[in-house]
Amino acid sequence: MTPFGRRMRELRAARGATLTEMATAIGVSPTYLSALETGKRGKPTWALVQRIIAYFNVIWDEAEDLQRLAEVSHPRVTVDTAGLSPEATELANLLAVEIAHLPPEAVAELLGRLKILRKRA
């Protein structure tokens, strides 16, 4: 599941909407919406994100959060390390190999650390 899919599912559950109801309202198939929630489809288009925001009637920070989550919700990621340091290439390759084997708390720790480092840069 992607971060966007998880948040969309939370919002849908809080509203008490079924996949079919939401899909009909935003103009997609229930199958596509399910695949988007579970991470079997790539990140949604900007236009679809806007329809989802309108469907949930969220504004300001929550709408921005949904847009940000959509941007970081590629279920398959390619990391181009050309021109970066050997350490950056090693990090990308090691993460690609090990991420499926890391316990959830280790993933959360690494993610938190990267967010802190990003803010400093």
Q: Write out pLDDT tens, residues 6-38.
A: 999 999 999 999 999 999 999 999 999 999 999
| 65 and 92 share one domain | no
List CB contacts of 35: < 8 A, sequence separation 6 or more: 41
Handedness of CA 84, 78, 118, 100 (dihedral sign): negative
How far CA 56 is from CA of 20, 53, 97, 121, in Å, comes to: 15, 5, 37, 34
DSSP state, 82? Answer: T
Identify the residue whose tokens are 């009637």: 57
| 60 and 105 share one domain | no
| 56 and 95 share one domain | no
pTM value is 0.76
pLDDT band at residue 75 under the 50/70/90 scheme: confident
pLDDT of residue 90 exceeding 90, the answer is yes
In a domain, 10, yes or no: yes
| 115 and 56 share one domain | no
In a domain, 32, yes or no: yes
| 66 and 96 share one domain | no
pLDDT, tens digit, 9 for 90 and up, residues 40-73 = 998 899 999 999 999 999 989 999 999 999 998 9
Encode burial over 15-24: b for 16+ CB neighbours within 10 A, e otherwise.
eeeebeebbe
Residue span of the structural domain in which 103 resides: 86-120
In a domain, 78, yes or no: no
| 64 and 10 share one domain | yes
| 101 and 61 share one domain | no
